[in-house]
Amino acid sequence: MEPASKPYAVLAVLVPIAVLAFGLLRGWSWFSLLFSALILVCCFPLLCAMLCMWLHGSGYRFLNVGIDWRSMDDKKSREVASRWGLWLSIGTAVLLLGMALITTNLIIGLVLTVASVGLMLLPFAKGATKGSRLPAWPRSKRIAAVAVFTLLTIVPFAFVMDGGAGSMSNSVEVSMDEEGFTVKAPFFDHRFSYDEVDDCQYFEDFPKGKRVMGYYDGTISSGKYENDLFGRYELASYSKIRPCIAISIGGEMYAFNQNSDGSTELLYESLKERLPRCRRNQRHAWN
């Protein structure tokens, strides 16, 4: 390991530990913690290595992009590696954010993930062996660049995982206003207008069915589920609470509840005052 690489190796270890410690203090679910750990362990060390490559031209022999490094001298190799390191750093940062957003907004998360791959491959556009001058910065400026890059990457990542772009907490959050209501849970984030709801029912014993794609940790069941009643539908539910409110909008089905039988029934009563079509259904049938 080159001497210049050692601080980046330390950073690659300390930052993921700090983010996970923050998550523990904030009460992230075990799913959020494990998912964050997986992403950070896979991606953040790569980001640190690419920052080192950008600022120092280090580690170019490990950059397997079809370049014959033996045909270049060390100076030229470091210049080529520096250009690659910059774009790989940007792409890895976008990848981290995209992977986090997949947990709350699948489409945006996938778009950012695909975009990150494009950014990483951008150096091919003007030639893989095209170099750029190594940043001739003093040590303090390089430290500042790494700090800014790390903050711009980790702060949005932690913000998303903490529920800032949706809910990844162990709760089903419902808020109502004069025009509609919002339901948020892991893999479930919808705003419903009262006028668009075609039907609404309260089920005292709702059959949640099986998970197709979503979240389950013993407390919350949410995301895309399937049962015999609706087929494919979207669920935001406390796993051990049997009652659920089910709504139909344009042929799409959604079901949600609160953290107790009583609070779910109170929510239903509040919705019933605003929705023209609300009814109880103690049986497992949509009729």
DSSP string, the chain: --GGGHHHHHHHHHHHHHHHHHHHHHT--HHHHHHHHHHHHHHHHHHHHHHHHHHH-TTGGG--SS--GGGS-HHHHHHHHHHHHHHHHHHHHHHHHHHHHTTT-HHHHHHHHHHHHHHHHGGGGG-TT---PPP---HHHHHHHHHHHHHHHHHHHHHHHTTTTS--SSS-EEEE-SSEEEEEETTEEEEEEGGG--EEEEESS----EEEEEEESSSEEEEEEEETTTEEEEEEEETT---EEEEEETTEEEEE--SSHHHHHHHHHHHHHH-SSEEEE-SS---
pLDDT for 214 equals 75
> For residue 98, is it within any domain?
yes
Do 52 and 152 lie in one domain? The reply is yes
Among the candidates 161, 182, 199, a domain finishes at: 161
Final residue before a domain boundary, out of 161, 186, 207: 161
How large a percentage of the chain has pLDDT more than 90? 53
Last residue of a domain, one of 129, 161, 193: 161
Give the model confidence (pLDDT) of 98-145 as tens digits: 988 876 667 888 999 999 999 999 988 878 888 888 888 999 999 999
Q: Does 117 share its domain with 91?
A: yes
- What is the residue range of 184's domain? 173-281
Structural domain count of the chain = 2
125 & 208 share domain = no
Residue 285, pLDDT > 60, answer no
pTM over 0.85: no
Residue 287 lies in a domain: no
Q: What is the pLDDT of residues 50-59, one digit of tens each?
A: 999 999 988 8
Q: What is the pLDDT of residue 169?
A: 59
On whether both 206 and 263 belong to a single domain, the answer is: yes
* Domain match, 201 and 110 both: no
User: Tell me, what's the pLDDT at 168?
Assistant: 53
Please check the confidence at residue 157 and state whether its pLDDT lies above 50: yes
